[in-house]
Structure 1
């Protein structure tokens, strides 16, 4: 996949030279709704025998319009994770537009002229709720007027899962952040994941017979709610089953920092400094405070048993 970074105004020498099918969206999470857009665009590109391109942005427009402070922004996928997913779903050219005030102030007609026609899009594919400015004027209903017949438009309707709209905000706020990673998996079409670096922790798990990998993650990642989960972890191309604990280690004191700790089943190699991708499959329980280390060990034994039972009954995720 070719990745092209765009800064307004566009340097026409930097873009792909030739006609494209262009999929539009922010694509945070690249969930089932986004996948339907990409599938329709891929079919159109195949029919026309031209490349499939997608356009996204380096950050959410919520920051630009002061709806959220940059430190408060949380994403289902960081930019590297989004790139990985876009390639997996068949995108050949990925345009990443830098979200600047100059770009954000573009009138809808100028956006269409410069970022659709200017990129030589012969067909544009987007979801029913895609906007490119103020919702009342820069929506899919008006795109044809701005396009003036210069490109074909494919509008992808709303995607639902069990009667509920599949959407980034819904997945982030009502599923992942509440710990319902099992339902998030259904709406995403894959288990929710993020990638971090294994760092040194307090090594208390080692003393309890459960050595854990302490994970340092990007601060913009959405983190599931505090609790214990059945997970799979990708390390150096190999997938391992495990259980994860998100919490504050309240058994060992108050006012502690939140940690993400992973215990890998049947795997005990030193992995400090390694990159680990964690796939979140099932919420097992909330964080509990125990009166003794023995009580904690007893509960961890139960957690391990539940984790093993889960993976006996559910097929592991296969990296695409």
Structure 2
């Protein structure tokens, strides 16, 4: 697989990155609909290097900073997923107050044409851009044509429930259906973060856990999940994770991921793990005491093993 190049300064693009065919969008989660857009872009101009133009932070994070975190994928995760689709150049445009005031006309002419020197662009039917979303697909088609750039409007990939979308996948995760989110993403959804020191209570209960903050990731339904954990070095281990605020202990802290890796004994503090959610086993609940909680954790771990073994066996 060719290694993609990441460009974060649209005003200084090296000449070797000029002349691409680029898909436009936020690409949060890089789901099957996004893959369809990328593949359609390549099919339109297979003779050109394949690129993506995206934004960071997500515009919603700038315009609605009071909203809870909602991201399906952070920049590194998105870049890796786009690279896996064969994208050669990712133009990640810094979306700040100044950029948000750029008109649709200036975006097409100054950014896409003059700075990135794109030869072909593609987008989905709902793509809107520019100050106050002043540009749409019709405007983009007209203006790129006037500037001598090719354009493809790509119909949204859909199933019986409608078009694939990041919004739809967020809802599935918030309702506790990670296995259905996996179907729409084309891979399990995961939370990636650095292991932090906790209160060591899991170790006292006989189930030591790696504690990972949710950070800017979406908070899925609170509860217990069967998970697989990707460790540094590429190793993957099965486990069980709790996502929530630990109501039995009632520590008042923000929601986080606490994952117990099966048959593992090692120091993970400070390391970056990716915790992939496979199935929600139960909702978050309060227990009468730590003994009852410990018994339930043992049951959760046994159930998670069964779920993951069945999945591995293709049952």
Same topology, TM > 0.5: yes
Secondary structure at 2:28 match in 1: coil
CA contact (8 A) 2:30 2:185 kept: yes
CA contact (8 A) 2:126 2:136 kept: yes
Q: Is residue 177 of structure 1 aligned with residue 174 of structure 2?
A: yes
Structure 2 residues without counterparts, runs of 5 or longer: none
Structure 2 equivalent of residue 56 of structure 1: 54
Structure 2 equivalent of residue 84 of structure 1: 80
Distance 1:145 1:292 in 2: 66
Q: Which is further off, 244-253 or 223-232?
A: 244-253
Secondary structure at 1:148 match in 2: helix
Distance 1:143 1:155 in 2: 9
> Pick from 3, 7, 10: which aligns with 1:4?
7
Q: Is residue 230 of structure 1 aligned with residue 230 of structure 2?
A: no
CA contact (8 A) 2:29 2:78 kept: yes
CA contact (8 A) 1:161 1:187 kept: no
Q: Which runs of 4+ in 1 moved over 3 A?
A: 13-18, 70-73, 134-137, 253-257
Distance 1:57 1:293 in 2: 46
Q: Which is further off, 277-286 or 53-62?
A: 53-62
Q: CA deviation at 1:268?
A: 1.8
Secondary structure at 2:285 match in 1: coil
User: What is the TM-score with the length of structure 1 in the denominator?
Assistant: 0.88
Secondary structure at 2:195 match in 1: strand
Could you report, residue by residue, the CA deviation over 1:279-319 in whole angstroms, capped at 9, with x for unpaired residues? 111111012222233322221222122111111221399xx
Structure 1 residues without counterparts, runs of 5 or longer: none
Structure 2 equivalent of residue 30 of structure 1: 30
Structure 1 equivalent of residue 153 of structure 2: 155
Distance 2:251 2:81 in 1: 39
Secondary structure at 2:86 match in 1: coil
Q: Is residue 95 of structure 1 aligned with residue 98 of structure 2?
A: no
CA contact (8 A) 1:5 1:96 kept: yes
CA contact (8 A) 2:44 2:152 kept: no
Structure 1 equivalent of residue 200 of structure 2: 203
Distance 1:111 1:255, change over 3 A: closer
